[in-house]
Amino acid sequence: MKQTVGRFAPTPSGRMHLGNLFCAELAWLAAKKEGGTMVLRIEDLDPQRSRKEFANIMQQELIWFGLTWEQGGDLGGEHPPYCQSQCGDIYRQALQQLQSKQLVYPCFCSRAELHAANAPHLSDGRYLYAGTCRNLTLQEQQQKAKEKHPAMRVRVPDVEISFCDLLYGQQGENLAQEAGDFLICRADGVFAYQLAVVVDDLRMGVTQVVRGRDLLGSTPRQIWLAQQLGAQQIPTYGHIPLLLDQNGDRLSKRDGALSLDNLRSRYTAEQILGKLAWLAGLIDRPEPASLPELIAEFSWEKLPKQDICIPNGLF
């Protein structure tokens, strides 16, 4: 059997918060439980939002916690580059591959038009693209291109994509009805997360994707894209519940009290990892725990499916 290759894929748009660390810890434990290795990929796709200094601090912090990786980040490895900002040519090739299969079309819609025309997705408030630019003739495309640089969308078929999530079990989605034609490149030339993440997971040999359940809904689109790009093997996916603050809100990179800086000045790595492992249901008490102990305790069956509120006084 192929060795498990897990990954962390942080976006360096700010300092890591506890939720990011929780995800890194569980991804690491899930991979190590299977004797696997980890990749660190810096998702600095959007130059406006990403800063090199945050990527540097993230790496130092992960190392401080012992959540090390075998390839990626400043360490390098056999599948460079590991920073998405350096992968433009690679994403362009993937875009061309999709174009050669007639799966891509230019979209000239403005933000305002998208808001006005798009139908909300039934279950989760996402918007389905109304298809305005789907069937433009070549002539119409050329005409519009004189006025505006287009974004690029993929034309999704009317198919059901299903997969078995390591925590949430059987999942499925009809792409045309529930996801719609989605963006793979923005009008300003920045490639979309959906394309980049798929291309990178494939080329870095990632076999297991562990990440927040906010990305569960992206997975069918990503599996389909991977298939279109000729993936030999699609990774397994395990989504994890999100950590919430005491008000039930998602943690943000601006949340000072739960910032890693603050926590690292008050606790040891084992104390923080132990508290997070307790929140994940891996251990019975929020006590310090070493990574080898936590590998032994890790099991997908112990994780809750509901989001987790950090109780008052835990940190």
Q: Which of 176, 215, 229, 242 binds ligand GLU (CB under 6 A)?
A: 215
The token pair that represents 65 in the structure block: 């916690």
Minimum CB separation from ligand GLU for residue 207, in Å? 14
**From CA 297, how far away is CA 279, in angstroms rounded?**
13
Q: Which C-beta is closer to ligand GLU: that of 13 or that of 271? A: 13
**From CA 27, how far away is CA 208, in angstroms rounded?**
9
**From CA 149, how far away is CA 147, in angstroms rounded?**
7
Q: Which of 11, 37, 194, 259 binds ligand GLU (CB under 6 A)?
A: 11
Q: Which C-beta is closer to ligand GLU: that of 43 or that of 61? A: 43
Minimum CB separation from ligand GLU for residue 307, in Å? 15
Q: Which C-beta is closer to ligand GLU: that of 133 or that of 195? A: 195
Q: Which of 43, 44, 173, 181 binds ligand GLU (CB under 6 A)?
A: 43
Q: Roughly what angle, to the nearest 10 degrees, separates helices 88-100 and 193-203? A: 100
Do residues 94 and 87 lie in contact, with contact meaning Cβ atoms separated by under 8 Å?
no
Please report whether residue 9 would count as binding ligand GLU according to CB under 6 A: yes
Minimum CB separation from ligand GLU for residue 144, in Å? 32
DSSP 191: B
The token pair that represents 301 in the structure block: 């069956």
* Helix or strand run (H / E) with residue 54: helix 52-64
Minimum CB separation from ligand GLU for residue 6, in Å? 11
**Which positions ≥6 away from 201 have C-beta within 8 Å?**
7, 209, 222, 226, 235
Please report whether residue 198 would count as binding ligand GLU according to CB under 6 A: no
Please report whether residue 211 would count as binding ligand GLU according to CB under 6 A: yes
Q: Which of 10, 72, 73, 180 binds ligand GLU (CB under 6 A)?
A: 10
Q: Which C-beta is closer to ligand GLU: that of 43 or that of 178? A: 43
Q: Which C-beta is closer to ligand GLU: that of 217 or that of 288? A: 217
Q: Considering only 4-12, 61-69, 107-115, 233-241, which stretch makes contact with ligand GLU by CB under 6 A? A: 4-12
The token pair that represents 241 in the structure block: 């519940």
To which residue do tokens 């078995």 refer?
Answer: 164
Number of residues forming the site for ligand GLU (CB under 6 A): 7
The token pair that represents 236 in the structure block: 């397994």
Do residues 191 and 91 lie in contact, with contact meaning Cβ atoms separated by under 8 Å?
yes
Minimum CB separation from ligand GLU for residue 225, in Å? 12
Q: Which C-beta is closer to ligand GLU: that of 26 or that of 308? A: 26
Q: Which C-beta is closer to ligand GLU: that of 43 or that of 181? A: 43
**From CA 210, how far away is CA 30, in angstroms rounded?**
8
**Which positions ≥6 away from 3 have C-beta within 8 Å?**
35, 36, 37, 207
Q: Considering only 3-11, 131-139, 176-184, 228-236, which stretch makes contact with ligand GLU by CB under 6 A? A: 3-11
Minimum CB separation from ligand GLU for residue 163, in Å? 14
Please report whether residue 25 would count as binding ligand GLU according to CB under 6 A: no
The token pair that represents 41 in the structure block: 């990929």
Q: Provide the binding-site residues for ligand GLU, judged by CB under 6 A.
A: 9-11, 43, 197, 211, 215
